[in-house]
Amino acid sequence: MNAAFEGFLAQQVADLKASGLYWTRRQLQGPSQPRARVDGKQVLLLAANNYLGLSNHPKVKAAAVAAVKKYGAGSGSVPAIAGTMDLHIKLDRQIAKFKHTNSAIYFQTGFAANAGLLPAILAEGDLVISDQLNHGSIIDGIRLSKAEKAVYQHNDVADLERVLKENASKNFKRTFIVTDGVFSMDGDIAPLPGIVKLAEQFNCITYVDDAHGDGVLGPQGRGVTHHFGLTGKIDVEVGTFSKAFGVMGGYACGSQAVCEYAYNKSRSWLLSGSAPPATVAACTAALQVLERDKKIVPRLWKNTEFFRKGLQQLGFDTGKSQTPIIPVMLGDSNRAQEFSRELFKEGVFGVPIVFPMVAKDKARIRTQMNAAFTQKDLNQALAVFEKVGKRLKVL
Ligand SMILES: Cc1ncc(COP(=O)(O)O)c(C=O)c1O
């Protein structure tokens, strides 16, 4: 053991604790659902990505169990060698059908999709222009590439145009514009119509990660491109099954060429074991539930509007939220940590989001809505927020 290295790490952890940036994990002792058991306590769970409650849906669970019985616990290989089962192919097709694209390819995670695909499609001599607040997996994917990088101000189409104009005469081989569809920390939506217009004007390739838009935005929850009526206008769409679908896994979709290239060139897909049968079958079942249940997405939105309005009426700042991601802006990291602890004492699990997930002075409690909350749940949660807000003099 290297003592200096151990000492360095211990000091870093101590610094994180001192500055309110240390992550303490809470334990769920049962399913992720509106009233969940966490650290031995029954709480309202306002911190899950499981927007539609599908992680605990009977059909989704049954599909996972049936797949284990028929196919076993693991896939046995990486997808390119012997790890592609008929289940994986079925899921690819189901994703393409859901997104209305020609083709789709399922990745192990959304992180793996961005971290593997971006370096594969971005080449030396290309320019990639990325929204300032894009997800870390996009940032890392871009870092792994040899393309020239530029950043535009968050959701600012005019600033994107400025970057495009500044680079127009530099003879880049290709220019990519990359954005989240819904931003995971603020819950605001990318201005895709303006981005697509500029992409057409400047002959760019568009790449959109709709991790938090799938199952949430657009008719039947088909995502941000459908929300804006831009189906077929985005070159590469990426998403995940770890949010509204309540399972796990990522995907890329688009043309046949995009997907064939993706699975021949993405190192995260080529060099990492494929998802286990239970996961893949659960993802397929989650998509089927969403396709068939016409009420689930409207329920999510009804809860979202009610809860956001309720927080605002109490006097909380919900930032730029336009979606079921509803932050309660608090500023200081220690304050956000304390607020979260007080919420928990009162029976509400709302997670503090602090640096490096957000800027140091933009700490918050990020709440996330769920279609499965009842009116009683939401009223109770609002009452707790009010109590804690007053106790900590936020209100
Ligand atoms: C925009 C975005 N992309 C990708 C991911 C990663 O997805 P996954 O959980 O499937 O790795 C996330 C999750 O936080 C996300 O918010």
Spell out the domains of the chain, with CATH numbers in brackets.
24-51+295-391 (3.90.1150.10), 58-292 (3.40.640.10)
Q: Which of 294, 279, 267 lies closest to 116, judged by CA? A: 267
| Residue range 237-279, pLDDT digits in tens | 999 999 999 999 999 999 999 999 999 999 999 999 999 999 9
* Per-chain mean pLDDT for the chain: 96
Which ligand 1 atom is the nearest neighbour of the CA of 182?
A: 1
How far does the centroid of ligand 1 lie from the alpha carbon of residue 205, in Å?
21
* Sign of CA pseudo-dihedral 98, 100, 103, 109: negative
Residue 282: name the closest of 253, 242, 251 by CA: 242
| Residue range 158-211, pLDDT digits in tens | 999 999 999 999 999 999 999 999 999 999 999 999 999 999 999 999 999 999
Q: How confident is the model at residue 306 (pLDDT cuts 50, 70, 90)?
A: very high
Answer yes or no: 243 catalytic. yes
212 annotated active-site: yes
Q: How far is the CA of 239 from the centre of ligand 1 (A)?
A: 8
Candidates 32, 132, 135, 183: which one to mutate for ligand 1, based on the most atoms within 8 Å of Cβ?
Answer: 135
- DSSP-derived 3-state class of residue 46: coil
Across the range 79-91, mean pLDDT stands at 97
Return the residue whose CA atom lies nearest to atom 16 of ligand 1: 184
> Strand 205-209 to strand 175-180: parallel, antiparallel, or no bridges (unpaired)?
parallel
Return the SS3 of 182.
strand
Burial 46-66 (b: 16+ CB within 10 A, else e): bbbbbbbbbbbbeebbebbee
Ligand 1 atom, smallest distance to 183 CA: 1
Locate 369 and state its tokens. Answer: 């809505």
With beta carbons less than 8 A apart as the criterion, state whether 41 and 33 touch: no
Q: Could you give the percent of the chain with pLDDT greater than 70?
A: 100
Of 135, 226, 227, 243, the active-site residue reads: 243
100 classed as catalytic: no
User: Strand, coil or helix: what is 395?
Assistant: coil
Closest CA to 291 of 239, 229, 245: 245
Q: Calculate how far, in angstroms, residue 181's C-alpha sits from the geometric centre of ligand 1.
A: 11
Q: Choosing from 99, 212, 227, 362, which is the catalytic residue?
A: 212
C-alpha of residue 111 to centroid of ligand 1, in Å: 6
- Give me 263's structure tokens: 């699975």
122-138 in b/e form (b: 16+ CB < 10 A) is beeebbbbbbebbbebb
Atom number in ligand 1 closest to CA 184: 16
**Type and span of the H or E element at 390:** helix 375-391
pTM of the model: 0.96
State the Cα–Cα distance between residues 184 and 217, nearest whole angstrom: 14
Please check whether residue 190 is in contact with residue 160, taking contact to mean a CB–CB distance below 8 angstroms.
no
119 CA distance to ligand 1 centroid (A)?
A: 17
Helix axes 375-391, 333-345, angle to 10 degrees: 130
Residue nearest ligand 1's atom 12 by CA: 211
